[in-house]
Amino acid sequence: MSSLPPIADTAAASAPAAAHTHEPPATGRGLAMTAILLAVSLASLDTAIANTALPQMALDLKTTPSASVWIVNAYQLAMVATLLPFASLGERVGHKRVFMSGVAVFLVASLLCALSPTLGFLAGARVLQGVGAAAVMSVNIALIRFLYPAHQLGRGVGLNALIVGISFAIGPTLASLVLAFGSWPWLFLINVPTALLALAFSRRNLPDTPRSAHKPDMIAALLNVATFALLIFALSQSAQRADWRLTVTCFVGAIVFGWALIRRERGHRAPMLPVDLLRLPAFALSTLTAICAFATQGLGLVSLPFYFENVLHRSPIETGFLMTPWPFFVAAIAPLAGRLSDRYPPGALGAIGLAMLSAGMGLLAIMPEHAQLWDIGWRMALCGLGFGFFQSPNLKAFMHSAPPERSGGASGMVGTSRLLGQATGAALVALALGIAGAQGSLWALAWGAAFSAAGCLASGLRLVRSRA
């Protein structure tokens, strides 16, 4: 295993490690960022947009509502299972090639989704779509690292976080508008022109990044896919309160395959599962911070509709409006947080943001039953501001704490941490609701506050490590 020096949690300390061999002109950078942001918006949008249409899809495809959940699960499983293999492949063949291939696969898969005659065909097309999204999301941050000089990297990751936030925010609304005027296949057909634009801008404007000399390890890739597919499947099964024996078997299988993967890659200079990067305190703490924060997001965004409707007795329409402040303020604050991370330690900014998120979740949990709309709204806004204030600085910390030649592995861990956190949060919501019924949503909010507080502590520890 290679020995990697720890890198301080400041832009100044990490700037030498982030020196670029390729820095395009400003015009090229703008078009390249446009290509990246278009593709990221597609991958993020399709994570949430299908949820709204599940009842209509189940009706048209003549299947049960429970079976239709696999339209969502297939996408998420494929995405999380292939993120790290694509990140490793990007280091070998170039991030640009992986990115453009991912967009092309996503384009073809979207057409297949729109033409699906059965649930099985649609689930298979969604798997392919998830593979394309994984290719995009595995290298997007790595590409941004090579587009911006070290002292402006926060600006780039801030724009990325802004687009992700906007995509999640408008997903349900966009789906509702499309379904109001057309059928569910149009949810996938609208991806086509955006994907074509992303490909057009990518070809000439994305940078050709340095390539490593290591050869791809197909066995390690298969072990990685098995590990994360079984883990996410187990979390999904536990969320649906399925047979506990199947759930435990999947968890055990994930552990076994994960152990085999680590054993196989021991001593590798660029392992697919970057356990060597986890030896760097700043990288390990950034990973832990991300998992805790996204677990809070999963706990909050999944439990809050139940909380608003079953505890606060709000209508579905009111619930939709009450959910809006969180993603709106995430998108609003993300660019500012990114710019601030170019001047101040990301560890401090992340700790402040997660402290705000923890406070917001706690205040939601203790809110009176007959709270006014304003009382709910400002608490949701506080959660959104906190999460948005954490996200961009943590992305920068991720990339600056890894050597430039390992940008692919670091970028892959960004997506993996996000998906693991969100899946964990969703599973805990199901556990809370199963234990406490309607009041389980309060438990979920309290657990979210605890996760965010743990993330705040992990982020703050980066300051201690950088000063040591």
Mean pLDDT of 414-418: 81
What is the DSSP annotation of 250-309?
HHHHHHHHHHHHHHHTTT-SS-SS-TTGGGSHHHHHHHHHHHHHHHHHHHHHHHHHHIII
Q: Is residue 137 part of a domain?
A: yes
With a pLDDT cut of 70, the percent of the chain lying above it is 87
What is the DSSP annotation of 4-50?
-----SSHHHHTGGG--S----HHHHHHHHHHHHHHHHHHHHHHHHH
pLDDT band at 281 (very low <50, low <70, confident <90, very high): confident
Domain end residue (candidates: 203, 233, 250):
203
Q: What's the pLDDT score for residue 13? A: 36
Tokens in use for 90? Answer: 């990007």
pLDDT at 212 over 80: no
Distance CA 413, CA 395 (A): 10
Distance CA 256, CA 434 (A): 29
CA-closest candidate to residue 41, choices 206, 148, 161: 161
* 369 in the same domain as 226: no
Q: Is residue 4 part of a domain?
A: no
Type of residue found at 141: I
For 8-59, how does the pLDDT look when each residue is reduced to its tens digit (9 = 90+)? 333 333 333 333 444 444 556 778 888 899 998 888 887 667 766 766 788 8
pLDDT at 437 over 70: yes
Domain end residue (candidates: 174, 203, 232):
203
CA distances from residue 332 to 108, 175, 341, 389, 395 in whole angstroms, order as listed:
33, 22, 16, 10, 17
For 137-147, how does the pLDDT look when each residue is reduced to its tens digit (9 = 90+)? 888 888 888 88
Contacts of 275 (CB under 8 A, 6+ apart): 262, 265
Distance CA 132, CA 125 (A): 11
* 138 in the same domain as 103: yes
Distance CA 346, CA 331 (A): 18
Q: Is residue 209 part of a domain?
A: no
CA-closest candidate to residue 211, choices 83, 86, 93, 89: 93
Distance CA 390, CA 394 (A): 6
* 234 in the same domain as 298: no
Q: Is residue 359 part of a domain?
A: yes
* DSSP classification of residue 96: H
Q: Is residue 13 part of a domain?
A: no
Type of residue found at 382: L
Type of residue found at 297: Q
For 299-326, how does the pLDDT look when each residue is reduced to its tens digit (9 = 90+)? 887 788 778 877 888 776 677 678 878 8
Q: Is residue 348 part of a domain?
A: yes
* 124 in the same domain as 237: no
Neighbour tally for 54: CB within 10 Å: 16
Least confident of 75-84, 101-110, 189-198: 75-84
Decide: residue 311, CB within 10 A, 0-12 exposed, 13-18 middle, 19+ buried: middle
* 290 in the same domain as 156: no
* 184 in the same domain as 255: no
What CATH number should be reported for the domain holding residue 449?
1.20.1250.20
Q: Is residue 358 part of a domain?
A: yes
Distance CA 382, CA 358 (A): 9
Burial annotation 233-262 (CB, 10 A radius, 16+ → b, else e): bbbbbbbeeeeeeebeebbebbeebbeebe
In this prediction the pTM is: 0.73
Neighbour tally for 457: CB within 10 Å: 16
Domain range for residue 283? 270-468
pLDDT at 450 over 50: yes
For 155-204, how does the pLDDT look when each residue is reduced to its tens digit (9 = 90+)? 777 777 778 777 776 776 777 778 778 888 998 999 999 999 999 998 88
* 309 in the same domain as 245: no
Q: Is residue 292 part of a domain?
A: yes
Higher pLDDT, 219 or 111: 111
- Give the number of domains in the chain: 3
pLDDT at 454 over 90: yes
pLDDT at 2 over 50: no
Distance CA 216, CA 210 (A): 16
Helix and strand numbers, DSSP H then E, in the chain: 18, 0
* 47 in the same domain as 189: yes
Q: What's the pLDDT score for residue 104? A: 96
Q: Taking all residues of the chain, what is their mean pLDDT, rounded to a whole number?
A: 81
* 163 in the same domain as 108: yes
* 147 in the same domain as 280: no
* 189 in the same domain as 232: no
* 358 in the same domain as 459: yes
